Amino acid sequence: MSVLQLALFLLVNLAFSLDFIDLLVRLYLRRQHTLSAGGASPPTSIVLHVGTFTQYQAKMHVRPFAIVASVYNAASDIGRFLTAMEPLKDRVWLIDDCSTDNTAEIVEAAGFRCMRATTNRGKPGALKVLVAALPPEIKSIVVMDPDVRILTSTNELLQIIFELQRSGMAALTPLVVAAGSNWLARIQRFEYRMACSLGRKSLADYTVTSGVAIYRADALRRVLAEHSLSVYAEDFENTMILMAAGEYIYYDGRFVIETDAMPTVRRLFSQRVGWYFGLMRVYLLRWRSVWARSMRHTHFAYQYIAYTGVFVLLLHPLKVVGLALLAVSAANLIDNAAHLGLIPDGAFTNPLYFASAYGQCLLVIILACMTGVARGERRSVLRIMPIYPLYAMGHLVPATVGYMNWISCRFWSRRLYRDHYRLGEP
């Protein structure tokens, strides 16, 4: 193998080599942070030293909390959310973000509190108004979305909130489950499982919140006071603000949230473009605020500097070049198999590039499945395993579009691709 071929081989395998390294690091960190005296791994990303209490004791002593959500033009499906929230109705506060349909009327007819906003602000802006109006005795706030369901029982949820209150930490983030039965839903379900049981659980009390999370009330008020109020990566911005302030966030796998998986490739593509646009926007806006903390804590630096800053953002252009080479390699592989002779063999078209990248990605998936998925769920993962490497490779496309959207907004005040998020200030 020539030097050029070796360089190209390393380039096309860069993304999956980084994924493999990241998986090993997270397995190590997860083990280190969740070791307990009894040897059993807790459902949380760090061992909570808050005492031992029964669910009944937690229910009796949990301090006042609120469940809040911003709703907008949700008349067609808000009923499912309201039905799920019925057992906790007296804890629920909703704000209608200036809907143009009858969402507010449906909420009020069901007997739920509903503040009516006079201006459409997007989720962070609407929540800022709602949280400011909550009773002062509220000590914890569960931030919800109207398109998700809490799968955790009410008694267990009360215990989870009680333990957060006892810990004094700023927030906790849940296990997110993607609902759906087609192949795309299975892929997203596996993806979310990895992000939670391996990603978030490896970060101890430096984890990243999701759109649904439970906050200490004063911590959420601080977040909303400093937030840009953009709907893009608003949860990641919450995390960056709290981490810059020296706060702590942990993952709790007992708090299970179900959300509908994106049903089509087009919707999924649009969602991910928005995610990566938001990631770049928030990170470049706030990374300096967490630099000092990164210098003091190695695993914090790994997540917020090495992984997010270097692996995900800085090295992305090299991943794109590698993806282009993989596409040519795959085309030549098909060309050779069909004996078409349309693509000449050469250093830039070697079919082994695609084969090696596919094999490496498959190895990462198998290891992730064995270490992050419960035995009962592994069979469903096996069904999507052969196509997941192709999904992982293709995922670089919406990521690139999202980053290019940020660049075009930053310098030309326009987007290359209009994703399905409501557009506000980038």
Pairing of strands 113-116, 92-96: parallel
Pairing of strands 65-71, 140-144: parallel
Task: Please determine, looking at this structure, whether the domain spanning 42-263 carries the CATH number 3.90.550.10.
Answer: yes
Q: Where are the beta strands (DSSP E) in 106-201?
A: 113-116, 140-144, 148-150, 171-179
Reduced to 3 states (helix: H, G, I; strand: E, B; else coil), residue 35 is coil
Q: Where are the beta strands (DSSP E) in 169-209?
A: 171-179
Residues 305 and 247: their CA atoms lie apart, in Å, by: 17
**What pTM was computed for the model?**
0.93
Query: Residues 6 or more apart from 417 whose CB is under 8 A from it?
Result: 273, 401, 404, 405
Residues, the chain: 426
Rounded to 5 degrees, φ, ψ at 75 are: -60, -35
Q: Please name which of 414, 383, 397, 13 lies closest in space to residue 183, comparing C-alpha atoms.
A: 383
Q: Domains of the chain: which residue ranges?
A: 3-18+315-394, 42-263
Neighbours of 246 (CB within 10 A): 9
Residues 129 and 140: their CA atoms lie apart, in Å, by: 16
β partners of residue 115? 95
Structural contact between residues 154 and 188, judged by C-beta atoms closer than 8 angstroms: no
Q: What one-letter code names the amino acid at 367?
A: L
Structural contact between residues 263 and 220, judged by C-beta atoms closer than 8 angstroms: no
Structural contact between residues 350 and 372, judged by C-beta atoms closer than 8 angstroms: no
Residue with tokens 């609407």: 126
- H or E, element range at 372: helix 351-372
What is each CA distance from 413 to 96, 112, 302, in whole angstroms?
Answer: 30, 41, 33
Per-residue pLDDT of the chain (426 residues; tens, 9 = 90+): 678 888 888 899 999 899 999 999 999 999 888 876 456 678 999 999 888 888 888 888 999 999 999 999 998 889 989 998 999 999 999 999 999 899 999 999 999 999 999 888 899 999 999 999 999 999 999 999 999 999 999 999 999 999 999 999 999 999 999 998 899 999 999 999 999 999 999 999 999 999 999 999 999 999 999 999 999 999 999 999 999 999 999 999 999 999 999 999 999 999 999 999 999 999 999 999 999 999 999 999 999 999 999 999 999 999 999 999 999 999 999 999 988 888 888 889 999 999 999 999 999 999 999 888 888 788 888 889 999 999 999 999 999 999 999 999 999 988 889 887 754 443
Per-residue confidence (pLDDT) for residue 308, from 0 to 100: 96
Neighbours of 363 (CB within 10 A): 15
Structural contact between residues 98 and 119, judged by C-beta atoms closer than 8 angstroms: yes
Per-residue confidence (pLDDT) for residue 2, from 0 to 100: 79
